[in-house]
Structure 1
Amino acid sequence: MHSETAYEITTLTPQTLPGYGPMLPHEIPPGVQMVTLPGGMRTLAYTQPPAAPAPQPVPVAQPIPTWAKTTALLTPTIGGGVAAAGIGLSYAAPGLIAMSQALWAAVVLIAAGAIALPLLLGTSRSRTGRAAPTQITQNITATGLFSRAKGTINHH
């Protein structure tokens, strides 16, 4: 716990100073004022002079950076380009929609062909009544490490 020592403020009255009377206002030195204490007694006391406000800095005109000038000059151009692209897309939208539908139709046609073609080929082969495919066997023999290989081919 913090405790502070209480100091009693005592003042000298004109009766306690022999030969001195109350001071006249022009005799009070600078920085000293007549104050009233909480007990109602009036006395002279040093006061803090009010702090002078700091002077406001004078704004200095600074040049505009080059990047800011360039950006400011390009902004209308970029905005105009975006607007022109938007108008062009709005005119092209019906054609783009038709092309996208045509592309989807082409994708479906290719997928259907990839599925249907093997099925059609498989059914057409089974209808022709062909026999099973011919099997070919091959026998190869060699007698030594560097000898000539001999073989036979059989068709069944």
Structure 2
Amino acid sequence: MQRLLAEISAHHFPNPPATEAQVAAFEARVGWQLDEDLRAFYLHCDGATLFAPRERAPNYRVLPLNEIERARNKMRHEDTDEYGTASWYTLLYLQDGDYVLVDVARREGEGYVLLDAFHETFPAGVERIASSFSEFLEKALASGDEFFWLAD
């Protein structure tokens, strides 16, 4: 993870780091704890854009802690199971209302699973795209600003 964070700092557009107090407040607000990858990321930078600054509408915008919310609230404006499971939270904004979600009820190894969420069909069609945030970052940073899971 440290290599990925160094790459973000050197070649991308990170926000200033979150404090331990901000992380604790976030975890109290959402009711779950950041996994090791996410904690390292947010203590390094409280959100970031990859490949382009925010003003240029980047493809990848990792949300700061204060913008992470339950996906069904953000994408459908209702907190009911009809609009997706309560364990899905927005993590990256991809433009046009699309998100990468973190499923805080599903772990593979030490990390939470990441999911693709297309706004027009959400909550249908949500698919696993990475087994951890570090796996996601590795692939995203190598993508050349393309959505690596949509290739071919």
TM-score (norm 2): 0.13
Of structures 1 and 2, the larger Rg is shown by: 1
- Give the number of the structure with larger relative contact order, counting CA–CA contacts within 8 Å between residues 6 or more apart: 2
